[in-house]
Amino acid sequence: MALATGLSHKCRVTVIPSTPLVTFLERVQETALGTFGGKNFDAKLYVDLSLKFNLSKTEKAFDGLPRSDENGTVSVKDLKEFIATYFADAGDDLLHYDPEDFVPEPEGFLPKVKNPEVRAWALEVHALWKNLSRKVSDGVLEQPELHTLLPLPEAVVVPGSRFIEVYYWDSYWVIRGLLASKMYETAKAIVTNFIFLVDTYGYVLNGSRAYYTNRSQPPLLSAMVYEIYNRTCDVELVRKALPALLKEHAFWNSEIHKVTIQDAQGCNHNLSRYYAMWNKPRPESSTKDKESASKFLSDSEKQQFYRDIASAAESGWDFSTRWMRNTSEFTTLSTTSILPVDLNVYILKMELDIAFMANVLGNKATMESFLEAAEARKKAINSVFWNGEMGQWFDYRLANGTICKESETWQACNQNQNVYASNFIPLWIDLFHSDAALVENVMGSFQSSGLVNVAGIATSLINSGQQWDFPNGWAPLQHMIVEGLLRSGLKEARSLAEDIAVRWINTNYVGYMKTGAMHEKYDVQKCGEFGGGGEYIPQTGFGWSNGVLLAFLEEFGWPEDRSIGC
């Protein structure tokens, strides 16, 4: 038995206000759904449009559109004409950019890749960085009020397809790939943009859009800086980043995120949760969110549901049964009532990275204080999430789905014992993978979990139709688990890591040869098949998939005599 405490002030509604432009574009989005219908409708497209004229003129023209008497819809012809007249195309405010540090075949590129076929393909994937590089147009910098795109100071690398702006956690794996491609300046520019966002907002946004200011994403900025420093020894980057990292750490440990759990011995443990500062439909999916929320009768229930949807988006796992009380009912999302294993691992890594960087800069007091914080979080992770019987770390669900009470009873049954890839993410961190006995225990659990499939690691064992569930495999999850196994130094762990990496490389290769593209996610049941499910059609490009592929090829190579394919 243990006690979870949450002070009542945590129940104050925290909402970051929207902008007049975003509010107006949501109206256009809703009208477009009524006019064009739901087939192939992508709500995000409408909130990514930029204005050709000022907002009041555009809004006046919109309000003046003729509408049908029956249901107030605008005709297809009128709406198409209005959009063409008053808006620039989504994406026009981000210009293609040639990165100065891109060369077609960098010196020392993937030295362990000996197979000519694999090498030629890797160079094609490397060349995709040029396709995905963008710079914010002068128009955004001069008239930011006409755009939902935010005016970032440096060039960016976008994921691809409908994701035409930079995203926070995607960028960690983009950077891992850029480092394999020797594109150090491009990698540093991404970090510079994120430091700018922390300086402006107090945290890194989910993505560089005005409608993303109400939430962050998995906090991996410190990990980005750490990896770049490891390759470049750029002390100035560390000096520039450290104040932003301290600010970000404070954000993730602020009152809306922090939950204190008291264990059976009376020890208090602080852990963090996702908590979007929002209680309305997400502007980029407004029409869908309203439809999902229509099951709720009261405004307060709808608002809580909207917060939980936005918080699931903040987690990066949008969407998954992991956040649902009932795995077959989407409206039981309760993200803010869950203490997630992976989020706390990322914050632990942030604490270790800050300690490392403080040491680089000779700041011993900060180093010691963050080493203590990391040790405390490690204890918290093991006290609250670890299940020795199962050999996994499980998310913990706060009782009654709220922490508004002064206290609540903690019980082992509040661990979510469904199998998710996130249950194994602690292996990524040195404080866990340096314990050989622990790694052996967790590795046995992982191998018998059902997650390891013919084409990689599944996200979960539940086929819900959501994209962060079975049978989808995602590049970041493959990478963190493989890297954790590898860094443990155990021979069997290295062998398992390489086996998974080879499966993933094979499925990426066959998918690329079939479709001419790298994909956002893959179906781990079938080699060479891309994934599906979720609230939008499968996307190509694709930032983090490219990054993980190049990182795997850099680490494991590909022998000349090993064939590639399914």
Give the DSSP H or E segment for 94: strand 94-96
Let me know if 30 is a catalytic residue. Answer: no
Taking residue 115's Cβ as centre, other Cβ atoms within 10 Å add up to 17
Sole residue written with tokens 């107090």: 202
Q: Using alpha carbons, select from 259, 243, 251 the residue that is nearest to residue 277.
A: 251
CA–CA distances in Å: residue 276 to residues 204, 209, 212, 408: 13, 15, 10, 23
Catalytic residue among 227, 469, 483, 520, which?
520
The DSSP secondary-structure symbol of 449 reads: S
Q: Which of 430, 325, 427 is nearest to 386 (CA)?
A: 427
- Whole-angstrom CA distances from 483 to 286, 335, 366, 422, 543 are 37, 27, 28, 14, 19
- Phi, psi at 343, each rounded to 5°: -55, -45
100 part of the active site? no
Residues 6+ apart with CB under 8 A from 116: 560
CB atoms inside a 10 Å sphere around CB 331: 17
Q: What is each CA distance from 217 to 132, 276, 314, 539, in whole angstroms?
A: 21, 10, 5, 19
The C-alpha angle with vertex 4 and arms to 334 and 221, in degrees rounded to 5, equals 60
DSSP string, 509-531: HHHHHHHSS-BS-EETTSTTPBP
* Residue matched to tokens 């999902």: 292
d(CA 500, CA 484): 12
- In 3D space, the residue among 237, 244, 128 whose CA is nearest the CA of residue 187 turns out to be 237
- Rounded to whole angstroms, the Cα distance separating 494 from 395 reads 27
Please give the structure tokens belonging to residue 462. 């539940």
Please state, in angstroms and as integers, the Cα–Cα distance from residue 535 to each residue in 40, 289, 403, 539, following that order: 11, 10, 30, 12
Torsion of CA 438, 442, 447, 452, to 10 degrees: -130
Question: How far apart are alpha carbons 353 and 358 in whole angstroms?
Answer: 8
Q: Which residues contact 341 (CB under 8 A, 6 or more apart)?
A: 381, 385, 393, 394, 395, 422, 423, 425, 426
Strand partners, 209: 149
Catalytic residue among 48, 59, 314, 318: 318
Residues tagged active-site: 318, 520
